[in-house]
Amino acid sequence: MLMMYSHHDYPAEHFLNREISLLAFNRRVLAQAADRNVPLLERLRFLCIVSSNLDEFFEIRVAGIKEQIKLRSHTTGPDHLGAQAVFRRVTREAHEIIREQYALLNEEILPTLRREGIVFYKRSEWNEAQQAWIHEFFRREVMPVLTPIGLDPAHPFPRVLNKSLNFAVELEGKDAFGRSSGAAIVQAPRALPRVIQLPPEIAGADHGFVFLSSILHRHVGELFTGMHVLGCYQFRVTRNSDLFVDEEEVKNLRTALQGELPQRHFGDGVRLEVAESCSEVMADFLLQQFGLGREDLYQVPGIVNLVRLISVPDRVNRPDLKFTSFQPGLPKQLSGRYDLFDVVRRSDVLLHHPYQSFTPVIEFLKQAADDPQVVAIKMTVYRTGTDSVLMEHLLRAAQKGKEVTVVVELMARFDEEANLSIAARLEEAGAHVVYGVFGYKTHAKMMLVLRREEQGYRRYVHLGTGNYHPRTTRFYTDFGLLTCNDEIADDVNEVFKQLTGLGKASALKHLWQAPFTLHSNMLEAIRAETEIARAGRKAQIIAKMNSLLEPEIIEALYAASQAGVQVDLIVRGVCCLRPGVPGLSDNIRVRSVIGRFLEHHRIFHFHADGAEKLYLASADWMERNFFRRIEVAFPVLDPKLKRRVIKEGLKGYLADNCQAWDMDGDGCYRIRPSRRVRTCAQELLLGELAEE
């Protein structure tokens, strides 16, 4: 029976605010950009990541707060803060972060890049040769695709795409028809690059760049013949990008989603970014067009979309200004040529990405597609990329007549379009494509291969904490387990039966599954540790995740702490629990590790009177993961592999004194100065697991 979540009215002072905690995470990412020990081009990349994170924060989180305000909703989070109060706090904090971000860019990163021969030329710096080349580029590549729109009764303010680059132009004079509206909008097509690299012979530097915005500013007058340009101001609007599909109205999720996706670009405005040179009159005019207030205006000293700079490190051949490259390693049993089915029959295989290669997972699917003994393949797809080699192997398997079943999550945020494309291709190849259970995102990462062998059918399974996405496995930390353990394979097969068919949920032997048993089993494990502590025996919980929000879990951890359980939490992003509060959480420590790789694995370890229970999952301790998603937490049963996970995934992070931020009870994070020997978990893992 599906257990529905019931909200407990816990004391507000037990919880930190989710949105403020999320902005605190972005401050820690910004600190990476400010850290002079980080290679210069990587600092630029971190600066861009902050902008990308903030874009999503406004598109989803701030948009949701604004919806609550508009609907006059009285719903509050566990901290009991109302929407208006939260909006005021996040707006103030977001303005401050963005101010610090641009100050770091303009006062430190860009000047330091210039000293290294990587120059972003302002219009005032262009020499004659550069001006001539840029003008020719404008006439040839830019001007033909621009459509300037003069604002008058026949030309109302245009629909502006979410996060697109636009220019508001103030004009003087009359045009050929005698019109003198005084204003026009120029939209920069998405096909145009936002950062243009100058040819070496023109650049005057090893790597010279100009911004599309600078080119348009300089030549915008050519779009309005005979008129005088009084001002030209870049602007960008961020819109509500959350998709809403009404369960009661939808007969076909795929069709409904295809109809909804185009509207994402035109949701309600939530933020307006303009150049700091923008006139007050124009800023007010734009705010009015998008239904925004002054608090939604972000005037920035530079380009309005720093995300566009993220391509620069990859375009500059300066290995000395980037992280040292490495070759992911392989477990010993996978060295040389190998038959994965033979290897996994002998022992489970644990992969720790990105330190160890994702290639064995791809090879697992490749060998399954080509092996005549393989009868069926089942797989979940949440995020995998449109050009994924995994999809090609699935397509080939289907074309060869194998029973291929793929559970595609159509509602994976910002990957909906890619997943619709993948689903269509798989169906054309003859695969069975299903979309899980409506109302529950399928977030579990599972692959099952059914193989005919001498003793009969045998199932082989891959379970992971991360997506089947070959690109992100190069910079996300995740664990993957390959096993043919009969009981785990039976559990995985049972979950696939739920996803593709109908029927009651059966009891699983090893897997904890959301929305049925994951929450209750986690609570039970925490409470069991609490009882062990009350009996005077050693009790410890170590958990690693992206986010910790769920109130009942937090309260259970407080009770564990008060009973004497040592609780160590490694939470990369949002954490609403308050650690180290006297009488409440004295025995709880929270730390966040921010470094070269994005910490993504979820690991849950309970001492359990020496039994050392250990589970891996793709699920955070959040309401959505417990109650609105299909998730699995899976045990690591092999004692040797269990010790590896504890050592590599937990102990190393607790010992880190370089990239670990300790959190206090008020939600503030600090890197604690240490006189001990320098210990960096990510660097140690690179040294131990990766190739030179």
What are the catalytic residues? 443
User: 29, 598 in Cβ contact below 8 A?
Assistant: no
User: 341, 371 in Cβ contact below 8 A?
Assistant: yes
Phi and psi angles of residue 187, each rounded to the nearest 5 degrees, phi first: -100, 130
Question: In angstroms, rounded to a whole number, what is the distance separating the alpha carbons of residues 54 and 19?
Answer: 11
Question: In angstroms, rounded to a whole number, what is the distance separating the alpha carbons of residues 296 and 270?
Answer: 7
> How buried is 145 (Cβ within 10 angstroms: 0-12 exposed, 13-18 middle, 19+ buried)?
exposed
Residues 34-61 as b/e (b if ≥16 CB within 10 A, e otherwise) read beeebbbbbbbbbbbbbbebbbebbbeb
Return the percent helix, strand and coil in the chain, to nearest 5: 40, 25, 35
- State the DSSP string of 296-335: GEEEESS-S-GGGGGGHHHHS--GGGSPPP-B-B--GGGS
Most distant CA pair in the chain, distance: 90
How are beta strands 441-442 and 629-635 bridged, if at all?
parallel
274 three-state secondary structure: strand
Question: In angstroms, rounded to a whole number, what is the distance separating the alpha carbons of residues 18 and 79?
Answer: 9
User: 600, 619 in Cβ contact below 8 A?
Assistant: no
Question: In angstroms, rounded to a whole number, what is the distance separating the alpha carbons of residues 281 and 259?
Answer: 37
How are beta strands 207-211 and 118-120 bridged, if at all?
parallel
H or E segment and range at residue 408? strand 403-408
Question: In angstroms, rounded to a whole number, what is the distance separating the alpha carbons of residues 586 and 482?
Answer: 39
**Given its phi and psi angles, is residue 176 left (phi above 0), alpha (psi -120 to 50 degrees) or beta?**
alpha
Peptide bond into 354 cis (omega under 30): yes
Question: In angstroms, rounded to a whole number, what is the distance separating the alpha carbons of residues 406 and 435?
Answer: 8
